[in-house]
Structures are given as structure tokens and as C-alpha cells.
Amino acid sequence: MFTSKPNRGRIFQVTQYLSLIYVIFITSWFILWLTVGDKSWWLTILNTIVPCLFLPTLLLLFLFIRIRSLRVVFQLLIPVLIFGTMYSPYLFPRTTKTNGNPNLSVITYNALFSNTHYDNVAQVILTYQPDFVTFQEIQPVMMEQLKQRLGDVYPYSIMGQEHSFGTTAIFSRHPSINAYTLDLGVGGTAVVWETQINQKIIKVISAHLLYYGLERVNVSDMPKAIMEDTVAQNMQAQLIIDEIHKYEGIVILGCDCNSKETSSSYRILANTLNNSARAAGWSLFGKTPENTKYDRNIQHIDYVFYRGELEPFQVVTIKNSGGSDHSPILALLEMKR
């Protein structure tokens, strides 16, 4: 009875210390992410679960606001500001109205190498009929089946080198002036489609970066495997960028990058290209195409990147996956005339 208040005070003091340690941890991680990136295996793991790192912020804020400890509340504003800075395009609606005219559209779609729902996959594409579809995990059988179902609308296509887990492909409404594959090493290829629209040359790339596959790795071997896969994924991203640097015009990259926005491979791509979902943002009262929603997933791995005379109007997730374990991403863009 007489020790309840001291005990309560001790618990409060411990909680204050834990809150301070947490703020120091988040701040230290953020500095390391900015300066070191994925150069250590344990940082690579942390960088894949970033939103989870911030979950204690909500609980601690609720607690210390309730007990009116303003000093701790101000400390907790540090992780709030860090999180808001990193993910603001997905958290806050656009403050300006987009008056653009979307005259170019792209779907990027990991159709899943084991997917045999060919009609469903084709129906997803025919519902929105974009100018280009960048596929990942396409098997030769699926490629032939899609050619039959999409040929009337998409008479032009290219598929990368065959792989047991599928490869990349592009379906286009526009004929190519050049089409080729790009070897990404470690079993990966990208396909490149150059075409001309309104007297402007556009290079469209479909890429699929390395999947870590740590579920198949022994726990003791994970640090080495993580670093090897990170190096390989970064190399693939750099090969794509090196190819893009050979060309000065408009570029669109549809990618299952198998990496979050906090990864080093994403940073390699984003140093040259723009992430259309971040650039477009979302509108509080905006209307999206039927059966879609704004692409606001802060843990996504599927992207439509761009460079050049393009303005993203709207980037949405298509709710119908067509039997895949990935949701297709539709980017509506304005190509400046």
C-alpha cells in the first residue's frame, strides 16, 4: 500500500529511459542508413523492415501524451519526423491539383512463374489497355498463351532468356525500332524496347532483380548469403543504369526489384530515375480507374520508374492480380509534347 507510488515512479523512470534509448536507436539507424546503407548484413535486414522499427513510436506517444510528459513527447517527435520525411508521398495527399492529360500508360506485372490462369492475366491487361506492359516471371508457355489472347491489341512483344523461375517480357501497342535483351548476371535478364511516339523516342525496360530466397539458407550461412545477394542485386541495378546512361531520351523502367525503397539497389536506380508512385502521390478526393487504388504501399517492391519528358498523373495498384502473388501497377503518365 505504501510502496505503490514509489513503484509507479520507478516504472515511469524506466519507461523514460527506454523511450530515450529507442529514440537514440532510431536516430542512429537513420544516420547509418543515410551513410552506410546495406554494407552490413544486419543493416540490410533492418532496412527491409523499416516501418516495423517505428511501431513503438505510436505506443510511446500515446503513453506519454496521456501522462503529460512533454519532454519525452518532444523526443518522440524525432522518429515521427524521420518516418514522415521518408514516406511523406504515401502518407499525405497532394496539395496541388494535377491538371495533366495522361496520354501514355504502363503496367508492370509480375505474373508469377507458376501461374496458369492465362485468361485472367490477359483480362487484367485488356481491361486497362496500357501502351506497354512490362512482365516479370514469364514462362515460354505463358508467353505463347498471352500472345494468342493479346495479339489483337498488342501485336508487338519480346521475351528475355528462359529461366526456371520465368523471365522478363514486354508487350507493346507500338512497333519497335530496336529491341534486345540485357544480361543482368546471376540468371537474370532485362528486355529493352525502343519505339517512337509523337516523334519522340522512348526506351521501355522490363527488369526483375534477384530474389534473396533466405528461406532456403541455413541460419548460420545467412550473413554471408545476405551480403552476396546484396552485392549481386546492386550489380544488376547498376547494369540497368549503365545501359540507360547510353541513351539521353525518355526511359520507362517496369521492375520487380525485390527491394524496398530503403535498399541500396533502389537507391542506385533512384539516383538516375524517378519513382512514379512517389512523384504522383495521391489525392484525397481523386478518382482512380475502376477496381484500382492509389499505390501507397510503403513496403512495395514493384515500381514504374521514369526519366525524361514525362509527368506522372496517377499511379495505382490493380486489385485483380490475375492469379499472381503480385498486384499489377498501372502508371498513367503525361508525355509532354
132-138: strand order across its sheet: 156-159, 167-172, 132-138, 104-110, 329-335, 310-318, 292-294
pLDDT of 173 above 90: yes
pLDDT tens, position by position, 109-148 = 999 999 999 999 999 999 999 999 999 999 999 999 999 9
What is the mean predicted confidence (pLDDT) over 329-333?
Answer: 97
4-35 helix and 70-91 helix, angle to the nearest 10 degrees: 40
What is the pLDDT, as a whole number, of residue 99?
60
Q: In terms of DSSP H, where are the helices of the chain?
A: 4-35, 41-48, 50-53, 55-66, 70-91, 118-128, 140-150, 222-244, 264-270, 276-280
Contact 132/250 with Cβ under 8 angstroms?
no
Listing DSSP states for 158-184 in one string gives EE----TT-EEEEEESS-EEEEEEEEE
Contact 169/135 with Cβ under 8 angstroms?
yes
| CA dihedral (211, 217, 222, 225) positive or negative | negative
| C-alpha to C-alpha distance for 300 and 145, rounded to whole angstroms | 28
In whole angstroms, how far apart are CA 200 and each of 150, 195, 306?
Answer: 25, 8, 15
Predicted model pTM: 0.93
pLDDT band of 2, cuts 50, 70, 90: very low
Of 4-8, 37-41, 110-114, 135-139, which gets the smallest average pLDDT?
4-8
Plot region of 258 (φ>0 → left; ψ -120 to 50 → alpha; else → beta)? left
Which residues, in sequence order, are bridge partners of residue 63? Answer: none
Contact 332/314 with Cβ under 8 angstroms?
yes
pLDDT of 35 above 70: yes
pLDDT band of 101, cuts 50, 70, 90: confident
pLDDT tens, position by position, 221-269 = 999 999 999 999 999 999 999 999 999 899 999 999 999 999 999 999 9
